[in-house]
């Protein structure tokens, strides 16, 4: 029994083993079949891999699978948010029907880029990415199977135009209808390449070439800006560089417009002069700029300083206005500042001061009228002390005059002279020049009638930024009266003269007596 039973048991075991092996084979076949299914894995999660570049800077188009090297200038610091469409179930055929025909308008993310609105779709609160890194890359994950509206929700100030909102499905159908690198598989990690028009803040300099008030083109303001790179399908809507001048400045003009150091054809832009001076590119100019991505454009504005403000400091900031539009360049783009916010330059300042000089009599300090002066630059304008200032160059013109004459109060008034200048950094809210005073040399060229012109007529003059109070003087310059021959009115010479006159009168009297006796015979006989 046991032996029989043992034999039966062996056959049964063998049969059971074969059955188990067959069952295992069926299981493996079923697993392989399931793995090869092309259907969407509704339980999977995916991600949106974001590659952020400046518009128009990529050398090639990206692909959803991320296998193409696109190149391009990365944009750092941009945050995206993916809003899941909650009333669209991608596990159903109905959800996919017509999805490819959904048009996403530019304002689909709302005015704040955080309030998605797209037809009858509803959205969740969104999943945000980290800010793009120095390579312009970030991601949003994990994301369940769904359709998402992706919005650019935060960007640095250099980003002028936010990336257009777009739809992404997880998974993405990587087929020939959607991408040239199709492999027919669903992509659960989808690469996207949203682009920005990046406007870097323009920079501004300052240079004073004439140190006296009201000299034409005496202050120049070079403004340098980078031409943004834009998409082939876009055009510039406008490109204007403008400089609104402070009330102490006037006669704004444009000295030059250059691109990468070469003059720009004047037919490409319009110059507007006056209190607000600007350069605005016309239709042909905008088309030209589109062909010059990342080029450096420099506009040099000029002005003259008309008055000295009470504090002496004149501030100046220019603004770059640039925007893009889909399609062709507008027929008549604005060539003056549009009613849109622009990108300001750093702040620059110049400082100025007047000079009040008192001309007096050296003996009694009374005012002297009619003394004439000229003013010169000093060889060391920012010396610790101006006491040893030495003149250089030609006389300085102020309000068109190079000579200044003392008036009836003995006042020699020089309306305004340059003190210092400074270009601040982009982050500086307030800018102050390094020096608050500057050395000049005052030269007396003619003394009032009856007074001596000093042998050394050069007098150091310290000009402080700001306006000198009417009752005060920056300097007092005395004059000495002319010398004349000494009058013989006192002393030994006067006594001798009186003695000689007395002797003469006595001699005249004696002479008359002798004459009288000679004419009287009776007197002679006696």
Q: Domains of the chain: which residue ranges?
A: 45-198, 203-345, 351-481
Q: Which CATH number fits domain 45-198: 3.40.50.720, 2.40.440.10, 3.40.50.300, 2.60.40.10?
A: 2.60.40.10
Q: Give me the DSSP letters along 413-449.
A: EEEEEEEEEEE--TT-SS---S-SEEEEEEEEEEPPT
Q: What is the CATH number of domain 351-481?
A: 2.60.40.10
Q: Give the integer Cα–Cα distance in Å for 321 and 280.
A: 9
Record the tokens describing residue 137, joined without a space: 């890359």
Residue 285 has what pLDDT? 98
Please name the helix (run of DSSP H) or strand (run of DSSP E) that holds residue 514, with its range, or none.
Answer: helix 492-518
Residue 487 has what pLDDT? 66
Residue 161 has what pLDDT? 80
Residue 488 has what pLDDT? 67
Q: Do domains 45-198 and 351-481 have the same CATH topology?
A: yes
DSSP code of 284? H
pTM of the model: 0.74
Residue 326 DSSP SS3: strand
Record the tokens describing residue 235, joined without a space: 């055009």
CATH 2.60.40.740 for domain 203-345, yes or no, is: yes
pLDDT per 10-residue tile (average), the chain, 526 residues: 34 36 37 64 96 86 87 94 96 88 88 93 97 97 97 90 91 76 84 90 97 97 95 92 98 98 98 98 98 96 97 97 92 95 95 98 96 98 97 97 97 98 94 97 97 92 96 94 73 52 56 48 47
Residue 9 has what pLDDT? 36
Q: Give the integer Cα–Cα distance in Å for 315 and 467.
A: 16
Backbone angles phi, psi at 25, to 5 degrees: -60, -40
Residue 183 has what pLDDT? 73
């Amino acid at each position: 029994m046991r032996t029989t039973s043992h034999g039966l048991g062996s056959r049964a075991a063998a049969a059971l083993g074969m059955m188990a092996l067959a069952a295992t084979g069926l299981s493996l076949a079923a697993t392989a079949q399931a793995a090869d299914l092309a259907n969407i894995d509704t339980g999977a999660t995916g991600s949106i891999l974001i590659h952020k570049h400046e518009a128009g800077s990529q050398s090639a188009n990206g692909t959803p699978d991320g296998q193409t090297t696109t190149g391009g200038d990365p944009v750092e610091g941009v945050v995206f948010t993916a809003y899941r469409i909650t009333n669209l179930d991608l596990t159903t055929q109905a959800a996919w029907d017509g999805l490819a025909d959904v048009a996403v308008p530019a304002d689909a993310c709302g005015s704040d880029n955080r309030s998605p609105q797209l037809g009858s779709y509803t959205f969740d609160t969104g999943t945000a990415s980290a800010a793009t890194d120095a390579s312009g890359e970030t991601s949003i994950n994990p994301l369940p199977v769904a359709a998402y509206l992706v919005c650019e929700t935060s960007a640095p100030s250099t980003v002028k135009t936010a990336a257009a909102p777009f739809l992404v499905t997880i998974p993405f159908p990587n087929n020939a209808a959607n991408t040239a690198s199709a492999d027919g598989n669903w992509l659960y990690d989808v690469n996207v390449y949203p682009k920005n028009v990046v406007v870097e803040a323009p920079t501004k300099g300052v240079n004073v070439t004439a140190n006296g008030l009201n000299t034409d083109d005496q202050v120049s303001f070079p403004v340098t800006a980078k031409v943004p790179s834009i998409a082939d399908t876009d055009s510039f809507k406008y490109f204007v560089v403008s400089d609104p001048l402070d009330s102490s400045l006037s006669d704004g003009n444009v000295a030059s417009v250059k691109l990468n150091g070469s003059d720009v054809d004047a037919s490409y832009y319009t110059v507007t002069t006056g209190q607000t001076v600007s350069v605005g590119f016309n239709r042909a100019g905008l088309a030209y700029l589109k062909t010059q991505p990342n080029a450096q454009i420099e506009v040099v504005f000029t002005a003259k300083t008309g008055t000295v403000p009470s504090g002496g400091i004149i501030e100046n900031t220019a603004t770059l206005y640039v925007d893009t539009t889909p399609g062709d360049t507008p027929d008549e783009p604005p060539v003056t500042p549009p009613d849109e916010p622009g990108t300001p330059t750093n702040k620059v300042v110049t400082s100025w001061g007047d000079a009040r000089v008192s001309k007096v009599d050296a003996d009694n300090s009374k005012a002297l009228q009619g003394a004439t002066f000229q003013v010169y630059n000093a060889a060391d304008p920012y010396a610790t002390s101006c006491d040893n200032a030495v003149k250089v160059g030609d006389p300085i013109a102020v309000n068109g005059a190079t000579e200044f004459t003392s008036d009836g109060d003995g006042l020699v008034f020089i309306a305004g002279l340059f003190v210092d200048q400074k270009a601040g950094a982009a982050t500086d809210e307030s800018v102050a020049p390094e020096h608050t005073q500057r050395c000049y040399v005052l030269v007396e060229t003619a003394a009032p009638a009856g007074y001596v012109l000093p042998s050394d007529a050069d007098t150091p003059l310290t000009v402080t930024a700001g306006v000198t109070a009417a009752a005060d003087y920056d300097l007092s310059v005395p004059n000495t009266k002319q010398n004349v021959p000494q009058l013989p009115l006192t002393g030994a010479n006067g006594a001798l003269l009186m003695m000689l006159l007395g002797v003469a009168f006595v001699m005249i009297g004696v002479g008359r007596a002798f004459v009288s006796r000679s004419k009287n015979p009776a007197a002679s006989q006696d």
